[in-house]
Amino acid sequence: MKKTALASLLLLALVACSKNEQTTQPAPVENKVAEQPATQPNPVADLPAAQSAPAAEPAPAPVAETPAVEPAPAPVAETAPAATATGCSFDLKGTDTMTYTDAAGKPVPEIVVPASCQDFTINFEHTGKMPKAAMGHNVVIAKSADVKAVSAAGVKAGVKGDYLQAGDPKVVAASKMVGGGEKTTVKVPVAKIKEGGYDFFCSFPGHEIKMHGKLTVK
Ligand SMILES: [Cu+2]
């Protein structure tokens, strides 16, 4: 008798449970539905109503919430390997999103210049669409320690001076400033940068932070 009563209670609890799962919105109605069948078998069952009630009630509708999927972290582009130039030139690109890339569109954190070269030419192309005044790019070669000073002096030179101080002694070599769709080149005397510690960067105000890489002779 007890077994069947318990079984029926369990069954009722399950029914209440599944009902709760299906319709959780009208809570007051749901309670009535859950309680009514729970009290019915009381005359037969030995258990008091008070005990059967909690059996039907703690039917927590299982929250079918899937855990928030964390967005995968964007791959850091800085880990790109150094671009080793084949021959004595390198094709560098500039974009409307203020980045230097190689011909394949990959970041260029470093350009390795073969020590056998007398001059090293960087062929630069602005592959974007924005005009020089808004998103101009150039390629300037200077000692790493001088980059900030060259950039600051360049800001003073303004757009008329291509954001580069005329005759800046800290500048080893520099291309002209170009806008979207334009090309330019810069020739670097390898003997001048052989000692190491030289960088290439864009002197347009603010660009150096992103458009900046190492120029290493090996
Ligand atoms: Cu730039």
One DSSP character per residue, 15-53 reads: HHHHHHHH--S-HHHHHHHHHHHHHTTTTTSSS-HHHHH
**Residue at 73 is within a domain:** no
189 and 117 in one domain?
yes
CA count, 13 A, side-chain hemisphere, 32: 3
95 and 11 in one domain?
no
Residue 147 belongs to domain spanning: 80-217
User: Can you say how many angstroms the Cα of residue 81 is from the centroid of all Cα atoms in its chain?
Assistant: 19
112 and 13 in one domain?
no
- Residue 75: the pLDDT is 46
197 and 135 in one domain?
yes
- Residue 159: the pLDDT is 86
Q: pLDDT of the chain along its 218 residues, tens only?
A: 444 443 443 333 333 434 444 444 444 444 444 444 444 444 444 444 444 444 444 444 444 454 455 555 444 444 567 777 778 999 999 999 999 999 999 999 999 999 999 999 999 999 999 999 999 999 999 999 999 999 999 999 998 899 999 999 999 999 999 999 999 999 999 999 999 999 999 999 999 999 999 999 99
Model pTM score: 0.64
CA of 98 to the centre of ligand 1 (A): 6
CA of 91 to the centre of ligand 1 (A): 16
**Residue at 124 is within a domain:** yes
Residues 181, 78: contact at Cβ < 8 Å? no
150 and 45 in one domain?
no
**Residue at 62 is within a domain:** no
162 and 86 in one domain?
yes
**Residue at 68 is within a domain:** no
CA of 115 to the centre of ligand 1 (A): 28
90 and 50 in one domain?
no
CA of 204 to the centre of ligand 1 (A): 5
- Residue 41: the pLDDT is 43
Tally of structural domains, the chain? 2
CA of 201 to the centre of ligand 1 (A): 8
